[in-house]
Structure 1
Amino acid sequence: MPTRILVAGIGNIFLGDDGFGSEVIRNAAISLGDSSVRVTDYGISGMHLAYDLLDEWDGLVLVDAVPSRGRPGTLHVFQADHDGPESGLAALGLDGHSMDPAAVFASLRALGGRPPYTVVIGCEAGSVEEGIGLTVPVAEAVPRAARAVAEIVAALQTSGAPISEEC
């Protein structure tokens, strides 16, 4: 049985760089003929993602903007810690648009589901002020992030090995 992987872009396209996840999903080169992989732009619809995760996916690739640590456009790729009190998701502060992934996973558990192995591709945001469009450094990170999505999906399909790095 093939590994089932959900690739989820999240973010608010009306808040500048917060639309990073949506933009990466539009640019990800994942074969649409591969029924074991689903690529979806969830925007700010956290409950939709929680319900979709009830389908018991083997892996989740979550793409989102993260608060800047002084280097907008820098990509961070890491495995989410669903069990720790201060998960990897909360530590990077993935909550710039009130679609808190930690809350999504809490909702999933409340619905009787379990979070799958999750890899996060986060890009440090330059601006999350009102407005449509990414800042230059974040826009330049989109192709790298799209390649990272394809590489992570391929790695998960072949080995399921943990992935963690900074791009």
Structure 2
Amino acid sequence: MDPVTGSVAPRKILIACIGNIFFGDDGFGVEVARQLMIRRYPSHVQVVDFGIRGMDLAYTLLEDFDELVLVDTVSWGRPPGTLYLIEPDLELIAQAGERGVFLDAHSLDPVKILSFARSLGAAPIHTSLVGCEPESLGSEEDEISVGLSPTVQAMIPAAIAMLDKLVAELSFAKKVEVTSKGAT
């Protein structure tokens, strides 16, 4: 709170969009980032297209953010294009750190990245995930499949609306204390 004006400073938010554009709908987060970067967000909101650069995300989390919003595909077996707003289990992140973290330079596992960031000294951070159920992640393991399916592409505006609402809610939300055991 500003002692002179009495106004509350907005919480610093990182919207981290992740995915691989060469595996079909796995590029969902990257496309959301592309469209978000065309728009103007307030200075307390930073949008970054991390793609598959997990190390970059881990080191960025060493900065002083209050909230992390991940944007990625989520395969839970529901109809393609289903959007999710998830608060990941922070206990899983703590457990991953206890077991040791092995990173793959060609993919990005959010739990591993958050655990790795903690091992570097990043403070636990309140995390939300905006995800979309993919229709296709490429036809074969080694085959490149550029571009989103029409079903997932059609959900980009709804995902952006979900992010706008989330940013509005998080910007002036009460600080959530986060420990390795979860939010309190």
Shorter-chain TM-score tier: 0.7 to 0.9
Q: Which moved more, 1:66-75 or 1:42-51?
A: 66-75
Look up the match of 1:150: 164
Q: Residue 30 of structure 1: CA displacement?
A: 5.2
| 1:131 partner amino acid | S
Contact conserved, 1:10 with 1:62, CA < 8 A, in 2? yes
Structure 1 residues 92-107: aligned runs within 5 Å: 98-107=107-116
Structure 1 unmatched ranges of 5 or more = 88-94, 163-167
User: Percentage identity across aligned positions?
Assistant: 42
Equivalent position SS for 1:12 = coil
Code of the residue aligned with 2:71 in structure 1: it is V
Q: 2:155 aligns with which of 114, 134, 141?
A: 141
Instruction: Give the conservation status (yes or no) of the 8 Å contact 1:56–1:116.
Output: no
Distance 1:21 1:145, change over 3 A: same
4+ aligned runs moved over 6 Å, structure 1: none
Number of aligned pairs?
Answer: 153
2:16 to 1, 8, 17: 8
Distance 2:56 2:93 in 1: 24
Matches within 5 A, 1:48-63: 48-63=56-71
Shift of 1:86: 9.6
2:121 equivalent in structure 1: 112
Stretches of structure 2 that go unaligned for 5 or more consecutive residues are 1-8, 96-103, 139-143, 177-184
Residues 27 and 143 in structure 1, CA contact (< 8 A), matched pair in contact too: no
Shift of 1:47: 0.7
1:73 aligned onto 2:81: yes
C-alpha distance in structure 1 between counterparts of 2:158 and 2:90, whole Å: 26
Q: 1:69 to 1:160 in 2, by over 3 A?
A: farther
Q: Counterparts of 2:49 and 2:120 in 1: how far apart (Å)? A: 22
Query: Offset at 1:113?
Result: 1.0
The SS at the match of 2:162 is: helix
Match of 2:100 in 1: none
